[in-house]
Structure 1
Amino acid sequence: MPWEMWGVWSLTICLLIVGIIGSVVPFLPGPLLIFAAGIIHTVLRPESGMSTWGFVILSLLLVLSYVLDFVSGAMGARWFGASRWGIAGVFIGGIVGMFFAPFGLILGPLIGGAAFELIFAKKRLHPAAKSAWGSLLGTGVGLVLRLIVAVAMVATFFLDALVW
């Protein structure tokens, strides 16, 4: 096996591992790194790269991972009785929280949901806190689902690049 191939595979595997870690650690765009690993590997080693269908599946999983990120907190809040205002607060808090990572990624949706429930939906503290707790639980479930999608992305890469 030529040395160049070892280098390409080493880079690819490092990106895949960091991508898996990044699917649960703030600041690391995990699924995007996994997608990049597929592209880089295919460009550097076309004979052992991915097919068009592999990239289509990888792209769909990438989009799914980001949809899960944005929707999970709002769905959890809704499950625990949040109003439309509370869900809007979760979304806005999530966007603002991205600028204050890593703690803002957790606290942003939580504070945004509670604040919007208290200020705009005119809810009392207990129902507002309950919907904010739902946002936190939804975000946790979303994190687990994102990890599952990241593992599916890695499996897609290996199945497509090595098997087909």
Structure 2
Amino acid sequence: MQIIYWLLLALMIVGVIGAVVPAIPGSSLILIGIIIWGIVSSSFAAIKIPLIVTVIVLLLSIGVDFSASYLGARQAGASKWGQIGAIVGLIVGFLGLLPTLPFGGPLLGILLGPLLGAIIGEFIFRRDLWLATKAGVGIVVGSLIGNLIQGLLAVAAVVVFVVTTWPQVFGT
């Protein structure tokens, strides 16, 4: 039982990493780990609080993701063109269609794609490279801040799970 517990904690840690790093599932992995623990321990009553907290964290993460990018874009004066460009850049970077770099791999593409896409989208709309660059940086900074907030929420969900279930597993 303890081995399964440690494996599920490892899955949840990957979920915490995924909450911060784009393209890796985040809070959903934590939720899956908690549900698996409820099935394995056959005690859904013991995971009621962590389950509720994790569902709330998952919903908050979705809201934070959209609002942080939007607020970063708005603060930098980005238009819809910049936001669309950032989304297209994320997809292109995720699929690895950016030129291959000697370091970083797809993760670097996921980080550079939205920046380049936002700058290109803003430049098409405004024809001013300085404003386009400012808007692109604003979108990326907003996204990064949102990812950090999602990471903190994911850590909180895992801590609630551990605090709630530790006595059940280790009897202390």
Establish whether TM, by shorter chain, passes 0.5: yes
Looking at structure 2, the residues matched to 144 and 24 of structure 1 have their Cα atoms a distance apart, in angstroms, of 6
**In structure 2, what is the equivalent of residue 22 of structure 1?**
18
Contact preservation (8 Å) 2:27, 2:54: no
Partner SS state of residue 47, structure 1: coil
Looking at structure 1, the residues matched to 71 and 130 of structure 2 have their Cα atoms a distance apart, in angstroms, of 19
Q: Find the partner of 1:104 among 102, 109, 117.
A: 109
Contact preservation (8 Å) 2:126, 2:132: no
Looking at structure 2, the residues matched to 94 and 63 of structure 1 have their Cα atoms a distance apart, in angstroms, of 22
Identify the range of structure 1 (137-146 vs 53-62) with the bigger mean alpha-carbon deviation: 53-62
CA RMSD after TM alignment: 2.5
Q: Does 1:86 align with 2:82?
A: yes
Alignment-mate amino acid for residue 121 of structure 2: F
CA shift for structure 1 position 104: 2.5
CA shift for structure 1 position 70: 4.2
Looking at structure 1, the residues matched to 130 and 9 of structure 2 have their Cα atoms a distance apart, in angstroms, of 47
Partner SS state of residue 28, structure 1: coil
Contact preservation (8 Å) 1:74, 1:91: no
Post-superposition CA distance 1:49-72 (Å, at most 9, x none): 412x54233122113223433443
CA shift for structure 1 position 126: 0.4
CA shift for structure 1 position 111: 1.5
Partner SS state of residue 81, structure 2: helix
**In structure 1, what is the equivalent of residue 103 of structure 2?**
none
Alignment-mate amino acid for residue 58 of structure 1: T
Percent identity between the two aligned chains: 34
CA separation of 1:99 and 1:68: change in aligned 2, threshold 3 A:
farther
CA shift for structure 1 position 144: 1.1
**Structure 1, unpaired ranges of 5+:** none
Contact preservation (8 Å) 2:71, 2:142: yes
CA separation of 1:162 and 1:7: change in aligned 2, threshold 3 A:
closer
CA shift for structure 1 position 73: 3.0
Alignment-mate amino acid for residue 116 of structure 1: G
Identify the range of structure 1 (139-148 vs 94-103) with the bigger mean alpha-carbon deviation: 94-103
Contact preservation (8 Å) 1:16, 1:34: yes
Identify the range of structure 1 (124-133 vs 63-72) with the bigger mean alpha-carbon deviation: 63-72
Post-superposition CA distance 1:57-111 (Å, at most 9, x none): 3122113223433443332122111122222222333344332331232122111
TM-score, normalised to structure 1, is: 0.80
Q: How many residues align?
A: 158
**In structure 2, what is the equivalent of residue 10 of structure 1?**
6
CA separation of 1:158 and 1:60: change in aligned 2, threshold 3 A:
same
Contact preservation (8 Å) 2:23, 2:94: no
